[in-house]
Structure 1
Amino acid sequence: MADRMSRPRLVEKLMNKWETFYRKSDYLNSVAIGEGERLRGIQNSCLEFRFPMTILCGPNSTGKTTFLALSVLAFHDDQSLTLSGSNKSYYDFSYFFGFSEREKHEEGIEIKWKYTDGKEDVIKKGKERWLRYIRNNGSPRRPQRGSEFVGLSRIVPAFEKRGYQRLFSNIKRRKQKVCANSLSDYLARVMAKPYSSIFSYETRNISGSYRLNDYNQTHTSFNAGAGEECLTIILDTLLSAKEGSVIAIEEVEIGLHPATMETLVDVMMEIILERNLQVIITTHSPEFLRACPKESLIQAERTGNSITFIHQPNIENAIYSISGKSATDLFVVCEDECAASLIEACLTKKQRNIVKINSYGSKSELIEKAKIVHKATNKKVLIIWDGDVERNLLDKINELQDWDCIQGIKLPGNTSPERFILESLIRNTAMNDQICSEYGLDIADWKALEDKLSVMTDEHDLFFILKEGLGLNQLEEIRKRICWLVSREEKDQFATIKQRINDLLSNNL
């Protein structure tokens, strides 16, 4: 099982690995549809990859599924685990781009793949064939790499799948596959419920391959929840595919509860880092987009026959492009999830329903992010910097043309929010007693936790250390709870922020 680490460190390690390890191999650097005939109405469009995990979002008809398929088709696999209903061992164009007589793909469609080692491959569809997959000497034309596609069929329950009852009525006759040991741990972490064992029964015939999952030896896919099944298929693919595989996941949020999104993103990044995977995901889910690091996000926009791909888009702007509406009266932009949790704890229930808090990372980018949010939504935006922000950034707010719609303020204290929380924990014995009471810690447990916190070198490890010390699985849960306690204990220091938000909502500013 991959090592667990804080989100900032995980993202940093993935980015560093992309620039070093991935760049030296033949992972996918970009895929393009050229100037020739249109493929599904698309031409002159190029999708570039800059991070091991890519989250592709955008409205319908922006080519997300098309480019997802073309990414898988960049490679040749000796035996794709997820391929079913085919007599081949690898994905080909006929798998993704079927047609009827009246919509037959025209010859002259141009596809171009660039790989991270600098190599390129360009194909132009012929009258009958896309390309020769295997050369005359028996070697594959495309680079050899594991390639998997996790499609929407995962949401179809077992009882709706034709022939499943007949195939698996006697499971003793079916081949049993032992899943990776870490699958049950990862599934338990995302689902927040215990799993002691997961394995599957598999069979294959001329029509395809079939699988029935067994959970804790208490129930199978016939009685599993939709989220349980979807997560198992996604995680098992990530864990069972060949190391270094390229894996495409269509509409990752299908069947999943919004509360699972942040943990799922962390789990996927941990597996990607450990197994050197390249994962490409499509989504329409606002919750999933908000849970993803900005380095992974790409927004697709269509103009005529061409698709433009925007890297690291403003999240709310991307969500607005998908839904076309916003129920938010005020946007708050801050630096990270810790700051967002502290701010959220200041709000009343009514305010939480109409105030959208987004964390964007670098403090130097917040003003530009606020401008983008205001332009996209025509709503007021409040920038809340960390307590250690430089004075010149605060002063820049007054120079804005839209200064009446974009306001700025900082969190209490003159340090990072993590350091502010740590100092509050050390200072407030009453809050410590409440934490010990809530989570069942004795004096020795708390003393051991204090000792670890006192030698902490990276402030971003604060909640990871707290989570381990409190014996919890959900990082988000402990972050929100601790921030809630601190904001209540230090309520006088948050009074200015609360008043500014109230004034903006009341149109007093």
Structure 2
Amino acid sequence: MKYRESKLDKDLRQWFVNDYSKRLLRRINITEGTIRGLSALDVSFDYPITAFSGVNGSGKSTILALACCAYHNTKKGFKLPKRKNSYYTFSDFFLQHTDEVPPQGIEIKYWFAMDNFAKTVFPDGKGLGYQSRKKSQGGKWNNYDSRMHKNVVFLGIERIVPHSERSQSRSYSKSFKNVQLKGWEDKVKDAVGYILGKKYDSYLHLEHARYSLPVVTVGDLTYSGFNMGAGENALFEIFSTIYSCKANTLLVLDEIELGLHAKAQRLFMTKLKELCKETGTQVICTTHSKEIFQCLPDEARYFIESVGGKTKLTPGISPDFAFSKLGAKETAELDLFVEDEVARVLIQACLPSALRARIKISVIGSATAIAKQLAALHVRGEERPTLAVFDGDQRALKGDNLNHARKMAENPSKDFDVWFSERTSYLPGDTWPEAWIVQKCVEVPKLVEIALGLEEDRVAEVLEYGLQAGKHNEFFEISSHVGLEKNHTLQHLCHVIKLAFLDQMKPLKERIESFLD
């Protein structure tokens, strides 16, 4: 289903696309070469939070690394406690063994939204300009200090490692001390409490050397990061980091959902959006979570994959379709109810693969059974997209099916008739699908001859046998004359329909597309 935007979403987009004061990263374009499998990458950022999903090894982490290297920073700029520098270089992410060949012959363009362009930034239209990062064959990356300055923070998967399993934290367990209050502690504890459903009475951010430790109080209980769950620890680190950076930061998160259950992920995204609006933070992340994708508008979702050795980036992909491509179970975006196997095979034969991959076709058994299933959905108040596809001969019985569904719903709402109509469609023709398919095949004997391997002079005779066999016996009769299994005969003749009469399936195809947006 199409993403429902909130007022916060609209406010965030309005800010992001019209702000030229924060040097926001708006595009990354690999114009030459390949870096860790990524080639010809061209990705735009049109919303303050952008998430990338894809199978392992598709290039998600490489995109995060490229984003981190878009900016430089001053020595006094923010840096994580464990980092030596306040900025990132390609060597922070792209390391090689002595047997590996380092990336070379590469040019990457970074596009920014800016008020005024420096000499090192090449403008391209109002408010946008780019800088190039290059690495020639056998050479080094061009000067890092020519990059624009901005706080960049990368939080990898190590953030969910419990303090009890970190050797440094264990070594300094007695040495962590309270630091001077920063003024944002209450905001951090309230944000984490909202996400996890807890009421923290206090939160302290303790430090020692280059390490930190959260300590909280809940009622009479005080506990530290040593006794927190992985997700709780990660949330305190993320929010304390954002507030430590103050405003106008690029936050890069690997697997943003780590350590959080589904509900917490949704609440986390709400708080993260609010924080982006409050602080002007831009977030770029990867995810393997359908819930994270469902919390973002179309332009904030990308699916990355390698097709034929080339990088394919799909923007605006639906969460269900994205995670069906990842092999998740029960991720169809639309449920189709049909009466029998003939309807299922006909629909599958005539839909393009891109649509087939996004729907689940369930054989229900009869028109009455379909009406009953729709009524059950209405009673349960389920919002899952569902389309009931009746056989063509049910058009004349539309009122009967509606009345049956209304009766099964017991106490239907006032708009039940409209609700039912919006969720019903029909196969082409005014008869049952077996008869319609065979009747159409009579019009194209040459295609039937090829499809069934029949002699030319037998086509009309065999099809007529099928039509005379009686309702629902058509393909059984035809199969007995052509030496094929019934299901194979059905599939072959449905393919004939696809070749010769695909336009008659167009209304149903368009109806399915309307559900999928």
Range of TM-score over shorter length: 0.5 to 0.7
Separation (CA, whole Å) in 1 of partners of 2:191 and 2:239 = 8
Q: What's the counterpart of residue 67 of structure 2?
A: 71
Separation (CA, whole Å) in 2 of partners of 1:144 and 1:329 = 44
Q: What's the counterpart of residue 204 of structure 2?
A: 199
Deviation digits for residues 32-68 of structure 1 (CA, Å, limit 9, x no counterpart) = 22322x2112221112111111111122222111111
AA of the residue aligned to 2:129: K
Separation (CA, whole Å) in 2 of partners of 1:74 and 1:317 = 31
AA of the residue aligned to 2:170: Q
Aligned residue for 1:122, secondary structure, equals: strand
Q: 2:305 aligns with which of 279, 301, 305?
A: 301
Deviation digits for residues 341-393 of structure 1 (CA, Å, limit 9, x no counterpart) = xxxxxxxxxxxxxxxxxxxxxxxxxxxxx9998432342499x9xxxxxxxxx
Aligned residue for 2:277, secondary structure, equals: helix
Separation (CA, whole Å) in 2 of partners of 1:228 and 1:198 = 12
Against the structure 1 CA distance between its residues 376 and 123, is the aligned structure 2 distance closer, same or farther, given a 3 Å change threshold? Answer: same
Against the structure 1 CA distance between its residues 197 and 495, is the aligned structure 2 distance closer, same or farther, given a 3 Å change threshold? Answer: same
Query: Identity percentage over the alignment?
Result: 28
> Superposition pairs for residues 171-182 of structure 1, below 5 Å?
171-172=176-177, 175=179, 178=182, 179-182=184-187
Structure 2 unaligned runs (5+)?
114-126, 337-350, 363-369, 375-386, 394-408, 427-507, 509-517
Q: 1:285 aligns with which of 266, 281, 289?
A: 289
Structure 1 residue 257 corresponds to structure 2 residue 261 = yes
Q: What's the counterpart of residue 10 of structure 2?
A: 12
* CA RMSD after TM alignment: 3.7
Against the structure 1 CA distance between its residues 80 and 13, is the aligned structure 2 distance closer, same or farther, given a 3 Å change threshold? Answer: same
> Residues 39 and 109 of structure 1 are in contact (CA less than 8 Å); yes or no, is this contact kept in structure 2?
yes
Q: What's the counterpart of residue 99 of structure 1?
A: 96
> Residues 48 and 282 of structure 2 are in contact (CA less than 8 Å); yes or no, is this contact kept in structure 1?
yes
> Superposition pairs for residues 411-490 of structure 1, below 5 Å?
none
Separation (CA, whole Å) in 2 of partners of 1:489 and 1:263 = 36
Q: What's the counterpart of residue 365 of structure 2?
A: none
Q: What's the counterpart of residue 213 of structure 2?
A: 212
AA of the residue aligned to 1:229: N
Separation (CA, whole Å) in 2 of partners of 1:372 and 1:218 = 56
> Residues 323 and 331 of structure 2 are in contact (CA less than 8 Å); yes or no, is this contact kept in structure 1?
no
Deviation digits for residues 160-195 of structure 1 (CA, Å, limit 9, x no counterpart) = 1113122131334x6455444211111111111101
Separation (CA, whole Å) in 2 of partners of 1:124 and 1:167 = 42
Question: Structure 1 residue 328: deviation in Å?
Answer: 5.4
> Residues 111 and 123 of structure 1 are in contact (CA less than 8 Å); yes or no, is this contact kept in structure 2?
yes
Separation (CA, whole Å) in 2 of partners of 1:219 and 1:283 = 30
TM-score, normalization by structure 2: 0.61
Q: What's the counterpart of residue 498 of structure 2?
A: none
Structure 1 unaligned runs (5+)?
1-5, 135-140, 334-369, 385-396, 405-487
> Residues 159 and 222 of structure 1 are in contact (CA less than 8 Å); yes or no, is this contact kept in structure 2?
yes
Question: Structure 1 residue 491: deviation in Å?
Answer: 4.8
> Superposition pairs for residues 46-57 of structure 1, below 5 Å?
46-57=42-53
Structure 1 residue 157 corresponds to structure 2 residue 157 = no
Separation (CA, whole Å) in 2 of partners of 1:164 and 1:253 = 24
> Residues 47 and 67 of structure 1 are in contact (CA less than 8 Å); yes or no, is this contact kept in structure 2?
no
> Superposition pairs for residues 316-335 of structure 1, below 5 Å?
316-322=320-326, 324-327=327-330, 331=334
Q: What's the counterpart of residue 469 of structure 1?
A: none
Tell me how many residue pairs correspond in the alignment. 353
Structure showing greater radius of gyration is 2
Against the structure 1 CA distance between its residues 268 and 330, is the aligned structure 2 distance closer, same or farther, given a 3 Å change threshold? Answer: closer
Question: Structure 1 residue 305: deviation in Å?
Answer: 4.2
Structure 1 residue 243 corresponds to structure 2 residue 247 = yes
Question: Structure 1 residue 74: deviation in Å?
Answer: 0.6
> Residues 183 and 236 of structure 1 are in contact (CA less than 8 Å); yes or no, is this contact kept in structure 2?
yes
> Residues 77 and 90 of structure 1 are in contact (CA less than 8 Å); yes or no, is this contact kept in structure 2?
yes
Against the structure 1 CA distance between its residues 200 and 502, is the aligned structure 2 distance closer, same or farther, given a 3 Å change threshold? Answer: farther
> Superposition pairs for residues 280-429 of structure 1, below 5 Å?
280-322=284-326, 324-327=327-330, 331=334, 374-380=355-361
